[in-house]
Amino acid sequence: MTRAAFLIAARLGVAACLVIAACLVVGSCKAPATQTPVAWRTDCPSLERPAPLSVEAARDAYRAAERRHALRFREAAAPGSFVRAMHAALDGDRMAAGQLCLADVADLGQLLFEHEYGLADGLGNGASAKGPRGPFRRVHQGGFGGPETISCPSCHWLGGPNGAGAETDDAFLEGDGDAMRSADGRNPPALVGLGVVQALAREMTRDLQQQRADLARAAARAGAAQEIRLHAKGVDFGVLRASAKGEVDATGIEGVDQDMVVKPFGWKGTRPTIADFASEALQLHIGIQSDELLAHGAPELLGSGSDRSDPDDDGIRHELGRGPFTALIVHLAVLELPTIEPLIQDRDLGPAAHGLLPPTTTSFVDDFQRGRTQFHALGCAGCHVPMMVLTNPVVDVEGVPPIYLSRTMRQPGLTYDAAAGGYPVWLFSDLKRHDMGQANAARHVQNGVAPTAYLTPRLWGMADSAPYLHDGRAPSIDYAIAGHDGEGAAARTAFVALPQEEQGALRVYLMSLRRTRRLVVP
């Protein structure tokens, strides 16, 4: 067994280790197709990790860094070998049959997320890779993309693993390949809690579509036109009408497409699932074409190469097959939730702060409570809905059994609340599009979404994800609020009118929306 194979196997359960290690050595591993079971294996390691700031967590972080370093050596010796090994280890039929453990699949998906893709993996495209400028294009060439990077963490790193991007990490979409003024700047968002977000959106979609079906049925039965206001998890999506024949008129709905599918991913709210979002992002930003993209991607996204198994014309086929792509999605689906973590008192900073900070009896509890009140009074909570209740904590990822997030996601995770009748999710978004005015208008229409329309960003974890706004132009909370226009203009005006001390209370409240601190070894 190679050192890289051993390091990968060391992260996995015993049964999966034997299979994956053998695949990494001999380069092939097949199993007969079977029907997908209703559940994962039960003899598997837990996804939970040691307490974030414990000695055990530090050892885990160090081992992860050693694993990454060893895999880089492997890639240096044999470019493309890592992804080939993942194709062998993550056989799609075995995954669909539940023969691998969820924790093992998620860990390998994390390695794929962290991997630095090279030309042997399919980085870029034929024209750019062979040209004098190299494979990168910071300003995208229309819908085909860049690429502008070699790995996911190069843009998703701020605030911790799978985090947001700094102001220098902006991508410039739909451009002419050269001038930034031709493109729409987009700042990378944090990727935490994605499985929960997809599950919430699925339930909202179910509710909206059920109301549509009920309305059409009622109107046809009554033989008279009817209308209703659409609501899902307390969010108003406008007016839906039906004729006396049961024909639905969706021109009065707001913030969602006429198919009534809530799409919680992308700044414009254009993708309904993690898989849709990730397959597009891999192509746009790295130039990696998954089998998922080849099967469903739009022609302008795929490229114009004559070989439809290699439309980006880089000479690499089967760049990211079904198994590895599914593992990447599983990794993203089980990521932890951010928390609400107010700093209580300055003395909580401990003895190490003595002599560095002036003595004070300031308690941030009062600021936090006043800030929470201001958040509602100013109208912020109208779009940034603090909490939604998830009823069924399951996320479906094609190619694997259902993932029960209440039992299997990384911690901190979901907690059942009997009084709420489900699992409270503090995401601070309504998962709906809003008109943010001409001050925020995009240059291009993206997937049919109007230039001024944007999905309400999730504010959870915002303390660790500056800069803010869709293009990352806001370095602070005040700048982010000042950037609100259109439907957000009233809240902006109300905030500016507050006394300075009340503005400070709102900042304290928003700065309590954090990710759990953890050790990371580069």
pLDDT at 63: 87
Q: Which of the 8 DSSP states describes residue 283? A: I
The Cα–Cα gap between 483 and 488 comes to 9
Average pLDDT over residues 225-248: 97
The radius of gyration of the chain's CA atoms, rounded to the nearest angstrom, is 24
Lowest average pLDDT, out of 47-56, 113-122, 240-249, 259-268, goes to 47-56
pLDDT at 99: 87
The model's pTM:
0.88
Closest CA to 440 of 156, 118, 188, 186: 186
Type of residue at 113: F
**pLDDT of 4 over the 70 cut:** no
Contacts of 429 (CB under 8 A, 6+ apart): 264, 383, 384, 385, 455, 456, 457, 458, 459
Average pLDDT over residues 368-395: 96
Phi, psi (degrees; rounded to nearest 5) at 33: -65, 140
Place 14 in a pLDDT band, splitting at 50, 70 and 90: very low
Place 342 in a pLDDT band, splitting at 50, 70 and 90: low
Q: 């049959």: which residue's tokens?
A: 97
Count CA atoms within 13 Å of residue 403 on its CB side: 32
Average pLDDT over residues 103-116: 95
pLDDT at 32: 42
Cis amide bond preceding 358, omega within 30: no
pLDDT at 347: 45
How far is residue 214 CA from its own chain's centroid? 32
The Cα–Cα gap between 443 and 96 comes to 42
Q: Which helix (H) or strand (E) holds 492?
A: helix 489-496
The residues pairing with 514 across neighbouring beta strands, listed in sequence order, are: 339
Q: Which of the 8 DSSP states describes residue 241? A: E
**pLDDT of 351 over the 70 cut:** no
Lowest average pLDDT, out of 91-95, 207-211, 326-330, 341-345, goes to 341-345
**Which range, 116-125, 133-142, 147-156, has the best average confidence (pLDDT)?**
147-156
**pLDDT of 10 over the 70 cut:** no
Domains of the chain, start order: 3-114 (no CATH), 119-189+268-333 (no CATH), 194-249 (no CATH), 339-387+426-514 (1.10.760.10)
| Mean model confidence pLDDT for the chain | 88
pLDDT at 42: 86
**Strand-pair category, 453-455 with 433-435:** antiparallel
Count CA atoms within 13 Å of residue 505 on its CB side: 21
Report the b/e string of 284-315 with b at 16+ CB within 10 A: bbbbbbbbbbbeebeeebbbebeeeebbbbbe
Closest CA to 388 of 340, 420, 338, 425: 425
